[in-house]
Amino acid sequence: MSRLLVFGLGYTAGLLADRLAGDGWHITGTTRDGRDGTLRFDDSEAVRAEIAAATHILSSVPPDGDHDPVLVRHGRDLVRGRHWLGYLSSTGVYGDAGGAWVDETAPIGGGRRPARTRADADWLAIGARVFRLPGIYGPGRSALDRVREGKAHRVDLPGQVFSRVHADDIVAGVIAGFDAPAGAYNLADDRPCGQNDVMAYAASLLGLPPPPFVALDTLSPMARGFYAENRRVANGKAKRLLGWVPRFPNYRLGLRALSATTSPAAVSAAPPAASVDQR
């Protein structure tokens, strides 16, 4: 039986786990507190036993301060094994490209989170498939939800573009990576665009007016950092080497699918979207 161990069973990794469990895989995940039948991340003995038993290991745990907690605690265990290794990274490692296209040959390390760049490089060094992800959206975690909840806004920054990817396409990309060589892969859709376009389209699907414009200096430091980087993420390598084709190649298709399948009641009943900090 194929066995997947997930470090950080959060939003995206949880969708992957559900998909593979439906295909008969044995799934084990870690979280900080061991909730819902997961392992506590700090239960090193139990985690090492799962590492030894796993055929596939995926980490979605981001850096903690200036280090990767999974590699600090279990790096030697991971190197000793013969399992498949994967890591959910971020296209933020590329930093600001002034709106230009970036692919996996672009230099990394110019972003606002140097610890993420180090973790990305460290996972590559031990033979992992490193999936660099832009803005993630999916059920219960999209522009539709922000508009519906009155939390959406637009910022007047002409020429500002971002890439994004539907969570289902990340799941498909990681699964395609099971048979791929180690290395970095960008998983992004085919249509980078401004965040304002996405918010306005989400509002139109809900029959609501576009969200208001707000001044950049009124946003949180984290949000201002988000807008400080401007790039288009190329996905050609994943298409060539993984045979991956996004089911939702642009945000319009993705949001339309979500609006057709997710009612307001279902969204309110869904669990809160987790970050990738679920150890």
What's the pLDDT tens digit per position in 151-177? 999 999 999 999 999 999 999 999 999
270 pLDDT higher than 80:
no
Asked whether residue 274 is assigned to any structural domain, the reply reads: no
Each residue's pLDDT tens digit, 104-139: 999 999 888 899 999 999 999 999 999 999 999 999
In a domain, 247, yes or no: yes
In a domain, 276, yes or no: no
Pull the structure tokens for residue 227.
């807008």
Report if residue 193 sits inside a domain. Answer: yes
Give a yes or no: residue 254 inside a domain: yes
CATH number at residue 40: 3.40.50.720
Examine residue 17 and state whether it is found in any structural domain, yes or no: yes
Averaged pLDDT for residues 173-188: 98
Cβ atoms of residues 234 and 102 within 8 Å? yes
Kindly report the pTM of this predicted structure: 0.93
Contacts of 263 (CB under 8 A, 6+ apart): none
Number of structural domains found in the chain: 1
**Other C-beta atoms lying within 10 Å of the C-beta of residue 68:** 23
5 three-class SS: strand
Helix (H), strand (E) at residue 7: strand 3-7
Distance, CA of 157 to CA of 278 (rounded, Å): 33
Position 28 in a domain? yes
Mean pLDDT of 178-197: 97
Range of the domain at 14: 3-269
Residues 99-110 as b or e (16 or more Cβ within 10 Å = b): eeebebebebee
- Band of pLDDT at residue 266, cut at 50, 70 and 90: very low
pLDDT for 261 equals 84
What's the rounded mean pLDDT across residues 69-88? 96
What is the residue whose two structure tokens read 């832009």? Answer: 134
Contact 119, 70 (CB under 8 A): no
- Per-residue pLDDT, 112: 86
Is the predicted pLDDT of residue 45 greater than 50, yes or no? Answer: yes
Residue 275 pLDDT > 50, yes or no? Answer: no
pLDDT band at 262 (very low <50, low <70, confident <90, very high): low
Q: Residue 222 domain-assigned?
A: yes
Task: Note the pLDDT of residue 268.
Answer: 36
